[in-house]
Structure 1
């Protein structure tokens, strides 16, 4: 019997404000409220809420026969919680309606997490906690949409309770006839890899920008017997923006349950697929560990290398602060998206090169952030000394971060 695994994922990084040199030491608000709010508002109007409305309608009609999964970075959840709490409410209602699975990933698309297991684990744990806090679920599957090498993940995720990872990068040559392949990684605790091709729907897009649902489902049925699963992992950014130029994915999603049911095609979540018997077995020692190469491909010029070295040098001090606010800011600042803005433009004067301007801005932010870290460490040391001298003195507790606070006080 054929099975569809439908996953929606997205990562929305936080935009830095234009942070001037003279603000260092006097202003620790690094992020642009206007740009971040505008970005989320646009996505909510054109992507998130239209999809949530379609999914709500489907669950009201089909109940548990329909299944869908979501993967949000922690950064995205923070932005939604602040700028669009109605989306969080929608997702909570969907969670009550039917079988929803929330996947885990790192808190941001952290550059350092590709070279440091500790950083990877800290970010994944924090995102996992965020999902539990908002939706009452403990994620069982990991969404590898940032391209972590599987050998890296297979050494880490089983220790954290994950048994399945969904990813796009191939472990082994994937024949064209196999849109989705399941691997069982031996020589580990129970660890499964769901390897899916991107843009599975591309051949079924008509000239009218509509997706031919019937043709897609007939193609699913025509797959060889050992291809029981087709995973559709769709980025929210690919959803229809109510424009004639956009592919109408929402209409496709709305038609899918009824037409799939008529053809006896089921729906499943990633964590349920580990019980499927048709899996390729692959030994962990046959998977190349490409973490170093992955990092080098993402950090390619002197500006990026310098920023990465500064971030790397702060790592131990940040965690020694034991300050939730500083750690969360630390997650945001090492996002790959920010480093991508440091890609130099060829043939452009330094004064006009946007990468140089982003670099100066980033350095100013990191200078102030470094000072905050040092001040927090000194304050912690002083408090520890005072507590040692007066053990009966009550310990000052960190206050939890509230989503109702003004934007930059969150960070």
Structure 2
């Protein structure tokens, strides 16, 4: 899956979830960014099609990132071609989404070097994004929403109106500093402003809404006990603890360590399907979701306590593996002797996942 292309123009490649044009369903596709276009492929039984399924021309393409119109899909970016055709693509993490937006934006700029109006991805529009480029915003939001150590949701009254399940701006800053996600209150305000700008946090009540609407960039989040905020509904959905009430609260209470798209072989029907995997620690669990659906409940989960994880030989088809796979396989054996066969997009990702899983077992 992740072999280097013979085409030297390949800039970036990987899985994204794409919304269909005619039927607005979501399907995982393998995207390859070239110097002047974005092409995508379909996978069948764990092997990529030889012919691409579609092309998105990048000349004069406009990028909207983040695109926050889908409630259960907060990691979408939108591309609008020169013919006004719109494409909606979802990544597995904010970092991956922003990397795609930056790479596509650079390709667009190279195609239109004299066009001063070429829009750049919105996450790069302010200096604060550069200051926070090493911050994992996804983990910050997951930590804020943790049932045990997250920020406390309270009821507040502002100018005679009551609001539930929210928190003050100063409580957010206190929490970020206390949990060492920011060293100073100024840094914490910058981080909170980024979360607000990305739609992870939303204003509640008059004071915070007015600041968001009228204040200068970087001053839109208020470190104030009377300015109220809450976590956006979209980020209370997929992969969050409280939304998944049907599963064990303990099982889903662990800190999110890693997430990404991987192939998993089915237990009964030995077919391969792309799943969004979420690795949690303390307790160690590996949950997997169907990225084609808006359902916020995992398809399944693997308890990692006492499990064994190992890479499989790419020469030939290992025992237990069905279909014409492309390699980068690894296997998880649980304490109950259940065998899971998983395929990563690249050799590096396989090793990264194995190492991450071993650290939480």
Q: How does the TM-score come out when normalised to structure 1? A: 0.28
For CA contacts below 8 A with separation 6 or more, give which structure has more relative contact order.
1
Structure of larger gyration radius: 1
TM-score normalised by structure 2 residue count: 0.31
Q: Which structure has the highest strand share of the two?
A: 2
More helix by share: 1
